[in-house]
Structure 1
Amino acid sequence: MTVTVLGAAAAAWSSAGSASTALVESSQRRLAEAVTNQVATIAPGLTFPPTQDALELLRSAVGPNALVTRGDLRAAEGLDLFTDSLRDAVRTRSRLVSQRAVAEGRPWLLIGTPVMITAVDGTRTASGIEVYVARDLSAVDDEIDGMARTAGLTAALALPFAVLLAWLAASSVLRPVRNLRDTARRLAVGDLEARSRPEGSDELADLTVTINEMAGSVQTSMAAMRRMQADARRFAADVSHELRTPLSTLTAVVEVLAMTADRMEPDARESAQLAITETQRLVTLVEDLMEVSRFDAGTAELRVEDVDVTTAVRQCLRARSWLDEVELTAPAGLFARLDRRRLDVVVANLAGNALRHGAPPVRVTVSATADTVRIEVCDNGPGIPAHVLPHVFDRFYKADTARARTPGSGLGLAIAQENARLHGGDLTVSNLRSGGARFVLTLPRDAGER
């Protein structure tokens, strides 16, 4: 549309300019020919050397605003607009010369021509008589202005139709592109049902068909992936649920075994201790799997109550005998509406992870703003490798697949992050400049307002 507008304006300007130039040149040529004819009519009757009366006769023949000179003789009438440059050009070139000038706010055409004497043999010599005439070009300028107005009006009338044609032409090309753009956006936000209808049989239509086929393939793959994920979650939930009953029995047996382990032979005692440890680990794994299954199914719920955060964190550390290993910095009387049990799970996972994988001192710092509670857990270990940081909260992720088995389930940090998000907060990880890992738990002061 812009090109159309500019093209119409350029065409109007060009046509008006060409027409005005042609009109000016035609008017100048016509006026010059008229002056030449008038001089040629009077010149044969002149006597040489001419008298003042002869010059006056010639001046009156060429009309108003004229000047006729020969030597010291001069016959003039009307405006004297003739410049020295015009007179010098007439004398030196011995032919008609014209110039344009503006006087009294009007355009003028200045014409100067010498009167030539033609001999019998056809040779022409200057007679010394010079004729200068000024012709008003206001009418020509008015005519040019009228042509410009006409051209502008014509362009203005034609422009809407040109713009409409340009818009229709552009729309026919850009509509399929916009449709493809909209389809791509819908696919990008997860609407795998999005499709574009092919129009025509050109390359754009082929591209539309290809994108539709790609979207169908992605939709099929995503549906299969969702089914597999749902099956895997259901399997984990079912297995965890089915294991709870035999594990309860096994736990009871292990507790009895633990009470009698001291009276066993050394080899039997070692085997009993290994069985106790592995059973406890299996119980923890099943409990974590059950918790993860509840998050995946969307059935995990908050039980919000008024909690003294500092007291809750201290009791979490005391219950696990970590108060001597952890430096706790927290203000007294810091209350928030949270799920106390889930807060205990998060703090226990973070502090336990720092004690197992970091180095002392492990520091837990509790702070708050008007809207949030912040719990920061730092250790003095080597920190977390850069390539591991993005995967810290992934389930069952191991930075080194060949490392020795740890007592945790591999789900602790994932569960901690899920609990933080369930509150409407977040859990992040980074490395300290001085070394060591830093986990920051941010929770709202009132999780019940979510």
Structure 2
Amino acid sequence: MSEPGGRWFTGLRMRMAAAFTAVALLAAVLASGLSYVLFRRVMLQRSQEAVVTDVTGTLARQVPAELPPDVTGLFGKHLAEILGSVPGRRAAAVPVPLDGGVSLPPRGALDVPVTREFARRALRRTVFQRIVRGGTPYLLVGARVTGYATTADEPWRMTPPMVFVSADLSREAADLRLFTRTLLIADALAVAAAAGFALLAARGVLRPVRRLGAAARALGAGDLETRVQVKGDDELADLARTFNGTAEALERMVTDLRAMEAASRRFVADVSHELRTPLTSMLAMSDVLAEDGDDAARLVATETRRLGRLVEHLIEVSRFDSGAAALVLDEVNVADAAGGTLDARGWTDRVTVDGPAGLTARLDPRRLDVVLANLVGNALEHGRPPVSVRFGPAERAGAAGVEIVVADEGPGLPGDLLPVVFDRFVKAEAARSRSDGSGLGLSIARENAALHGGTLEAANGPGGGAVFTLWLPRGEGAGPS
């Protein structure tokens, strides 16, 4: 399973691989640095010891314990020739002053210059120094012989000279560069291999995490039977077992809640149906009593009618909840349907209707009547005139439809009521202990709109007043607008 495009470089897999690669790079750099330092030290020390040993060995072999008189110059030339005969080396011999001073080799005799301090130290013991000149490393060696015999009256006639040798270390520097390149190549290969192994390891580690993620998404989408396979005894296996246990508990809980909800819906539906029959008789008798009765009889008749409307609304809600609500579609002239709704309830003189006379749609006329009656009735009860019904053709998401707007000039809907105005048992005047409405009318209206595949929205107009906008698809075979 690959990472989504935008997350491939920022996902957990890449971060784990980057961390593993960084550790491998740090280890490779430390190991290579240590190897470079040790190799450089060993190589330079070997070259240094080879040159110094050769110089001191040559002096020991070539300088006898007793020199013949007056041979210092010739003997110095002889030593310079022997010591300078090795490729990459140059040598120079200078006499040792008897006054305690120092003598320096002629300029150009060696590859590097000799300082007085270096020559002074070479008088006492064999010394060496690494010098870089013109980008080329050299080893400068200074030495003299001390184990020889002299005469008491003429020591200057048999004093051996000092020798200075410069050795070119270019070969060692080239070997060191080659070793450095080898280390860099090895480090690059090691880091690349580490990155590859890190990606493979991260993939193996994250595969169970991805399975858990997919299972969690399926569980969130409503598939309560989702479970993940448990492998091994590590932390990820414990997480998988915990997920499975949580999913099982959630499935049991949701199943119980669904059963309780279904039972409550059946209870409401059964009670509503059981109440309908006696209420029908009560309505008939209360109407008869209210015609010739007193105020008490008329109050009983009013409350009985209110109870009847509540029972009818509960029955309608139970149909929506059980999925038993169905559409009976027909070709409906919207203007005629709106006029019929107002005329049947005596609202014709209180409500203005505006829209094209020939606009038709394939709708359920009974359910359209329920929606319009609820919207107009709310506007008349809670708003102020004028109340208007405007309708016309409207498209949404490329689908042809009909838009019906019911508006009034009242105070409008309170801000805290707008988000819940279509919820069940929500009333515009919730503080009142009694109300003619059941709090189900707008909820039923929205359910009827949704059953058609439409929408019902509530808002406040720019000049005040509540505005309800109903949109319904016109359906196939609808006439012209």
TM-score by length of 2: 0.71
Residues 324-335 of structure 1 aligned to structure 2 (within 5 Å): 324-335=349-360
Quick check: 1:15 aligned with 2:31? yes
SS at match of 1:193: coil
2:437 aligned residue (387, 408, 412): 408
2 CA distance for matches of 1:53 and 1:394?
116
- The amino acid that maps onto 2:264 is A
- The equivalent residue for 2:401 is 372
The answer (yes or no) to whether the contact 1:305–1:339 under 8 Å persists in 2 is yes
Alpha-carbon RMSD across the aligned residues, in angstroms, is 4.2
Residues 50-449 of structure 1 aligned to structure 2 (within 5 Å): 53-54=77-78, 56-57=80-81, 60-64=84-88, 66=90, 68=92, 71=104, 73=106, 82=112, 90=118, 95-100=127-132, 108-116=136-144, 118=146, 130-137=164-171, 138-146=174-182, 149=185, 166-167=201-202, 171=205, 180-195=212-227, 212-254=244-286, 256-257=288-289, 261=291, 264=292, 268-370=293-395, 371-398=400-427, 403-432=432-461, 434-446=463-475
Q: Sort the Cα spacing of 1:283 and 1:27 in 2 relative to 1 into closer, same or farther, 3 A.
A: same
2 CA distance for matches of 1:226 and 1:162?
47
1 CA distance for matches of 2:108 and 2:79?
6
- The amino acid that maps onto 1:112 is L
Q: Sort the Cα spacing of 1:68 and 1:343 in 2 relative to 1 into closer, same or farther, 3 A.
A: farther
Deviation of 1:150 (Å):
5.8
- The equivalent residue for 2:155 is none
* Residues matched between the structures, number: 425
Residues 37-48 of structure 1 aligned to structure 2 (within 5 Å): 37-43=53-59
Deviation of 1:349 (Å):
0.7
The answer (yes or no) to whether the contact 2:81–2:91 under 8 Å persists in 1 is no
The answer (yes or no) to whether the contact 1:373–1:444 under 8 Å persists in 2 is yes
Q: Sort the Cα spacing of 1:285 and 1:87 in 2 relative to 1 into closer, same or farther, 3 A.
A: same
- The equivalent residue for 1:25 is 41
2 CA distance for matches of 1:214 and 1:118?
93
The answer (yes or no) to whether the contact 1:110–1:133 under 8 Å persists in 2 is yes
SS at match of 2:327: coil
SS at match of 2:224: coil
- The amino acid that maps onto 1:381 is G
The answer (yes or no) to whether the contact 1:65–1:135 under 8 Å persists in 2 is no
User: What runs of 5+ residues in structure 2 fail to find an aligned partner?
Assistant: 1-15, 64-70, 95-103, 150-159
Q: Sort the Cα spacing of 1:356 and 1:160 in 2 relative to 1 into closer, same or farther, 3 A.
A: closer
- CA offsets per residue over residues 90-127 of structure 1, 9 Å max, x none? 56976422145776xxxx43122334464889xxxx97
Q: Sort the Cα spacing of 1:72 and 1:201 in 2 relative to 1 into closer, same or farther, 3 A.
A: closer
- The amino acid that maps onto 1:289 is L
Deviation of 1:141 (Å):
3.3
Q: Sort the Cα spacing of 1:364 and 1:148 in 2 relative to 1 into closer, same or farther, 3 A.
A: same
1 CA distance for matches of 2:190 and 2:300?
99
- The amino acid that maps onto 1:61 is S
Q: Sort the Cα spacing of 1:331 and 1:273 in 2 relative to 1 into closer, same or farther, 3 A.
A: same
1 CA distance for matches of 2:287 and 2:414?
40
Q: Which region of structure 1 is more displaced relative to structure 2, 410-419 or 300-309?
A: 300-309
SS at match of 1:96: strand
* Larger RCO, structure (CA 8 Å, separation 6 or more): 2
- CA offsets per residue over residues 367-413 of structure 1, 9 Å max, x none? 43333333233333333334433332222234666514222332211
2 CA distance for matches of 1:269 and 1:349?
31
- The amino acid that maps onto 1:38 is D
- The amino acid that maps onto 1:135 is L
Using the aligned pairs only, state the percent identity: 40
1 CA distance for matches of 2:443 and 2:335?
24
The answer (yes or no) to whether the contact 1:313–1:347 under 8 Å persists in 2 is yes
The answer (yes or no) to whether the contact 1:87–1:112 under 8 Å persists in 2 is no
2 CA distance for matches of 1:92 and 1:419?
112
Deviation of 1:332 (Å):
4.7
- CA offsets per residue over residues 72-100 of structure 1, 9 Å max, x none? 735659xx5x4x7x869856976422145
Q: Which region of structure 1 is more displaced relative to structure 2, 378-387 or 140-149?
A: 140-149
Q: Sort the Cα spacing of 1:422 and 1:161 in 2 relative to 1 into closer, same or farther, 3 A.
A: closer
The answer (yes or no) to whether the contact 1:330–1:365 under 8 Å persists in 2 is yes
1 CA distance for matches of 2:322 and 2:141?
106
- The amino acid that maps onto 2:178 is D
SS at match of 1:407: coil
- The amino acid that maps onto 2:301 is I
The answer (yes or no) to whether the contact 1:354–1:378 under 8 Å persists in 2 is yes
The answer (yes or no) to whether the contact 2:386–2:408 under 8 Å persists in 1 is yes
TM-score by length of 1: 0.76
- The amino acid that maps onto 1:372 is G
Deviation of 1:296 (Å):
1.9
Deviation of 1:353 (Å):
0.9
1 CA distance for matches of 2:357 and 2:119?
112
2 CA distance for matches of 1:308 and 1:93?
120
- CA offsets per residue over residues 120-172 of structure 1, 9 Å max, x none? 89xxxx977543221322344335544655666677778867776x459x63x
The answer (yes or no) to whether the contact 1:55–1:75 under 8 Å persists in 2 is no
SS at match of 1:274: helix
2 CA distance for matches of 1:393 and 1:385?
13
2 CA distance for matches of 1:337 and 1:353?
26
Q: Sort the Cα spacing of 1:23 and 1:200 in 2 relative to 1 into closer, same or farther, 3 A.
A: closer
